[in-house]
Amino acid sequence: MNRVFNFGAGPAAIPLEVLKEAQENLVDFKGEGLSIMEASHRSKMYDEVHSEALALIRELYEVPEDYDILFLQGGASMQFAMVPLNLSLGGKAQYADTGSWSTKAIKEAKIQNIDFEIVASSKDSSHNHIPKDINFSDDADYAYITSNNTIYGTQYKTFPSTKAPLVVDASSDIFSYLVDWSKIDLMFAGAQKNAGPSGVTIVIIKKELLTRVKENIPSMLRYKTHSDTNSLYNTPPTFGIYMLGLTMKWIKTQGGIKAVQKANEEKAKLLYDAIDNSDGFYVGHAQKDSRSLMNVSFNIKDKDSELEAKLVKLATNSGMIGLKGHRSIGGLRASIYNAMSFEGIKALVALMEKFASEHR
């Protein structure tokens, strides 16, 4: 088997053990005579898969009982609209703008014509840091942050404290470290970075927020609709939820989220050390105190686009894909989510060091 190291931002690498178990059961799921993709979402066969995935998230992520866990569709982008639809009370919503995805969330608030303000932004510095001392108003309808910025390679090290409900878009770092639920009221994430394939959106919401929604909001866009029906109001993305459950089992075999976090910190250090010890040949985009453990965005000295393209091509030919930076900032980007192995990081670092020595 010739598996490449996938440094793509998403859909991203899935643990090989997960893929192999899914492959083994794809045609005949545990002797049932059909694939899980063919099974009714009302069947006992699927109900066990669904319930186990929910239970594993609660166990591994240490989700308190006064939070509900929902499986939705539409990606994180749908949540940009669902958050104000469900949480806006006619007061003011507040946002921290730290990258493209928070900017898109702000756009959806503007479309809905709700009262909102941007209380912190890193836009003027090309989103190369997380603003310090973000102060949300205690009486805001909700406060909104993006915990990890996939394009710019920045990540919150601690979440702001606020009495207003804190909404966290954790699409690119969910399940990569344990969070402090006392600070969070709603968290959402697309699955395709750390939780399996694309198609499932995870929402973890404090139950007391479920009744906020106004009567004129369509049923499918209400969190309460999905809470009341155990995320089975309509046909859920059954295969994606099955894969999510397998990914949660994989995290458990790694020693849980604390063990995964430790591995993520060690992997990121290897790569950031290669950048920092390159005598200026490689330059990281994010300020050091805001560096992401999930996405490492960097350039070659003087933003030499020809050399950057050459390195991307060399990496691809060496079995390392997805290293081209996002079109909005260019350069290079290595996404090193939970499933990225130490071997992958070491191979990339070796290539970068060799390339730097040959092109200084």
- Residue 101 a catalytic site member: yes
Catalytic residue among 97, 141, 169, 173: 169
Among candidate residues 96, 89, 105, 102, the one with its CA nearest the CA of residue 141: 89
Eight-state DSSP code of residue 212: G
CA 49 to chain centre: 22
Q: How far apart are CA 81 and CA 112, in angstroms?
A: 8
> Tokens 């690498």 belong to which residue?
13
Give the contacts of 45 (CB within 8 A, at least 6 positions apart).
Answer: 29, 32, 36, 39
CB 154 within 8 A of CB 146: no
- Residue 133 a catalytic site member: no
CB 189 within 8 A of CB 170: yes
Give the up-direction half-sphere exposure of residue 56: CA atoms within 13 A in the CB hemisphere.
24
> Which residues, in sequence order, are bridge partners of residue 169?
146, 188
- Residue 181 a catalytic site member: no
174-187 burial, b at 16+ Cβ within 10 Å, e below that, comes to bbbbebebeebbbb
Catalytic residue among 141, 173, 185, 193: 193
Catalytic residue among 97, 101, 224, 249: 101
Dmax over CA atoms of the chain, in Å, equals 65
Residues annotated as catalytic are 101, 169, 193
